[in-house]
Chains A and B, each alone.
Chain A
Amino acid sequence: MSLKRIDLLICCGSGCVSAGALKIKERFDEVLAENNIEKEVNIIETGCMGPCDYGPVMVIYPEGIFYQKVTPEDVEEIVNEHFLKGRAVTRLMLQDKDKTIRMQKDVPFYHKQVKVALENCGYIDPDSLDEYIATGGYEALGKVLLEMSPQETIDIIKESGLRGRGGGGFPSHIKLQMVHDNKDEKVKYIICNGDEGDPGAFMDRSLLEGDPHRILEGMMIAAYCMGASEGFFYIRAEYPLAITRIKQAIEQAKELGLMGENVFGTDFCFDAEVRTGAGAFVCGEEMALISSIEGERGNPTPKPPYPAVQGLWGKPTVVNNVETLGNIPSIINRGAEWFAAMGTEKSKGTKVFALTGDIRNTGLVEVPMGITLRELIYDVGGGIIDDKPFKAVQLGGPSGGCLTVEHLDTPVDYENLKAHGAMMGSGGIIVMNEEKCMVNVAKFFIDFCVEESCGKCSPCRIGLKQMLEILERITSGQGKEGDIDELLRLGESISKLSLCGLGQTAPNPVLSTIRYFRDEYETHIKEQKCNTKVCLDLMHYEIDKDKCIGCSICASKCPTNCISGSREDKYTIHQIDCIKCGNCFDVCPTKAIEKIPGIHPEALKR
């Protein structure tokens, strides 16, 4: 990558930056200068390397040594020992059971991963067009412009089996073909959907931040296929770095003549612009997104007409997800067959996921379609934190559903997930251990959708509100016989009657949790008990007098002064005044305070 003796790749993805990566980079600048070796070391701030849980992480070439959980205090040792004396610092390496893992390629987290869209992410400097080109960047664009017709390019995408990664899984070539075939209309648009609405997901953000030129190249190839000469990146305002990186990539590409008039000396002309979203989930839906670019409120409009027929400013438009576009350069470079060899019969290639929740290796991963949930959670994800039992996994965010232990061997692809009431979604995966209350999780998603509903059609606006009210009653101990059936009835009619995908899919988390965890709903309603002790109204705290040593710390931390006692009599919680803040539970030195399912009889009197 450079002529310097050492390449130091510091992960500057959002997780590592939050964990202090930038301070480490600054410290390296200082220490390298102190030792007069700043010319020998090439510091590269890369996009997300994936294993966010080990952050801040870094990789040092030529060896490929992987350091994790690095702090600014470690920098001096790395420079002195590793850079000057050639002795890698073992204590910063990952420990897997009793093995010390030296190299990045040996980290188990990467073993079952296959990087296509993420190929360069965490490997090159996203600010540098040269580095992108050095890894083969813009070769695919050159190839299609110089050697292939738009139809031939579409055919390759068709043969590859690429499907939309934005959630729906719609075959990508169909949209391109439709717009391509429209010869009457000269003005056509391509839009990259970087709205990433799923709250708990950061795949598209990482791609835009970590390898912006790849997305731009993918967009240009798609534009060439359909005959568009203008593109828009719609990126949410919450992702300022992604916006900066894409804007910069556009500038760099223009300077080098990779974009603009007559690219590579051909007739192809292309220009792109960035538009920012302003925080509305529904704007990820393509019709709403188009309204938003047009400067309106992001209200969805009924389909048809589809954007491919009548999209932005009434012109034929293709909207593609970031990751979809990110796959295209690789497909062109390595061929449709290579891509189609990965995955399952109907779901080809790989999928990027953001693994989060109660899982050991939270982070960004890319795996072949068809990997089982078990492999994804246990082999890539490293299993559940503290080896607690696995309870459920939520896929597809607020539009998706949950799967349980019985589905662990289900292959992850569009068809299989759908068959079990979940969906691929954009790639957010939340893993939950047995301490999570599924009724509460369902309530969370409905609450999200109620807030995000644009309010245009009443099933979504009013129906979801009713569902939320029922869930609120159930989780606060006011549930009634028949509530579950009412939720099912409401959910099914909202799905059928809503105008856009938000309303149509919003009931999914409730429907799927009822499907797999109906007993949990019933315990909440009939016994007024939350067995996971998550729903505060359906649990209480109690002090175990055998364990209490009478230290009074809990009493001093209680905001309502509802704990009293003495060293001799030990301490007691007066249930009526307890607001379940949990402060006492956190501070008790002997762990004498317990969470107990159900309402305390004393509190019932209130």
Chain B
Amino acid sequence: MASIAQNKNRLYDRLAEVIEEKKDLRNPLIEILRIAQDIFGYLPIEVQEFIAEKMDMPASKIYGVVTFYNFFSMTPRGKYTLNVCTGTACFVKGAPRLIQMLSDELGVGMGETTEDGLFTMSAVRCVGACSLAPVFVIGEDTFGRIDTVDKVKEIIKRYE
């Protein structure tokens, strides 16, 4: 553990700063985990242990919180996260078919990352673009009314 704490890795330094800054908020754990996930892209056990040590709480508690919330991920993500909306509006407008088309095109299932590390496909609930249903989101870009394989292929190509 000491070796982790001594690690001069820039990312850990940044995390340490964040913890220092937020520590005195009341119960800032979720806030800190969220920022940690921004910094590292995901929350591997080592990061959780680092936080545990800095915040002086059992690592098991942190693990319990990380696994409870969908927002936190313990596996690394691809360069792009492709979030398919599985909200109700998208569901009735054909999200299941969209998921199948994306999954065929990328060769991965929900929550998996493509071999080239480019995409992680995951599900989100309602992104507030129900008028464009069914939709998926890559980064800040929302793609709506995606109902054919050709449309899917064309969009994926833009990111390759």
Chain A contacts to B: CB under 8 angstroms: 13-15, 17-19, 52-53, 55, 198-202, 205-206, 237-238, 273, 275-281, 292-298, 313, 354, 356-358, 362-363, 394, 397, 428, 430, 432, 436, 441, 444-445, 454, 557, 559, 581-583, 586-587
Contact = CB atoms under 8 A, between A and B. Distances in A.
B128 A14 contact: yes
Given A278-B30, A582-B97, A586-B148, A441 B131 contact: no
Contacts of A582: 97
A436 B93 CA distance: 9
30 contacts: A13-B128, A15-B131, A15-B132, A18-B135, A18-B142, A18-B144, A19-B144, A52-B131, A53-B131, A200-B130, A202-B130, A205-B128, A238-B125, A273-B25, A276-B34, A278-B33, A278-B34, A280-B68, A280-B69, A295-B30, A297-B64, A357-B89, A362-B131, A397-B88, A430-B92, A441-B92, A557-B149, A559-B104, A581-B104, A586-B147
B91 interface: yes
A199 B69 contact: no
Given A293-B27, A436-B92, A199 B132 contact: no
Nearest to A20: B142
B30 A202 contact: no
Contacts of A273: 25
Interface string B108-144: 0000000000000000111111111101000000101
B21 to A, nearest CB: 14
B31 interface: yes
A255 B94 CA distance: 48
B124 A238 contact: yes
Interface in B24-64: 25-31, 33-34, 64
A108 B91 CA distance: 28
Contact of B89 (A200, A278, A581, A583): A200
Given A362-B131, A581-B101, 8 more contacts: A18-B135, A200-B87, A237-B34, A276-B30, A279-B70, A295-B28, A362-B130, A430-B88
Contacts of B33: 278
Interface hub of B34, B71, B131, B149 (most chain A Cβ within 10 A): B131
A298 B68 CA distance: 8
A292 B31 CA distance: 11
Given A19-B132, A202-B126, A278-B72, A428 B31 contact: no
Contacts of A237: 34, 71
A5 B130 CA distance: 35
Contacts of A586: 147-149
Interface residues of B, number: 44
A456 to B, nearest CB: 11
A452 to B, nearest CB: 9
A555 to B, nearest CB: 15
Contacts of B144: 18-19
Contacts of B127: 14, 18, 238
Nearest to B104: A559
Contact of A295 (B27, B89, B135): B27
Contact of B92 (A53, A277, A293, A358): A358
Contact of A199 (B71, B86, B135): B86
The 7 closest A-B pairs by CB, nearest first: A200-B88, A295-B27, A14-B128, A278-B69, A52-B131, A279-B70, A199-B125
Contacts of A587: 148
B65 interface: yes
A356 B34 contact: no
Interface of B: 25-31, 33-34, 64-65, 68-72, 86-93, 97, 100-101, 104, 124-133, 135, 142, 144, 147-149
A17 B140 CA distance: 10
B131 A357 contact: no
Contacts of B93: 357-358
A5 B36 CA distance: 47
B105 to A, nearest CB: 10
B13 to A, nearest CB: 24
A198 B87 CA distance: 8
Contacts of A199: 86-88, 125-126
A18 B132 contact: yes
Contacts of B69: 277-280, 298
Counting chain A CB atoms within 10 Å of each CB, the highest count among B64, B91, B133, B148 belongs to B91
Contact of B30 (A201, A292, A397): A292
B70 A280 contact: yes
Contacts of B142: 17-18
Given A276-B31, A430-B88, A356 B130 contact: yes
A535 B149 CA distance: 20
B131 A55 contact: yes
A206 B131 CA distance: 14
Contacts of B104: 559, 581
Given A199-B126, A278-B34, A296 B88 contact: no
Contact of A363 (B34, B68, B131, B133): B131
**Which residue among B33, B70, B135 has the maximum number of chain A CB atoms within 10 Å of its CB?**
B70
A15 B101 CA distance: 23
Given A278-B34, A295-B27, A432-B92, A18 B72 contact: no
A581 B88 CA distance: 21
Given A53-B131, A275-B31, A295-B65, A200 B126 contact: yes
B85 to A, nearest CB: 9
Contacts of A279: 69-71
Contacts of B126: 198-202
Contacts of B132: 15, 18-19
Contacts of A55: 131
A278 B100 contact: no
Nearest to B55: A295
A354 B127 CA distance: 13
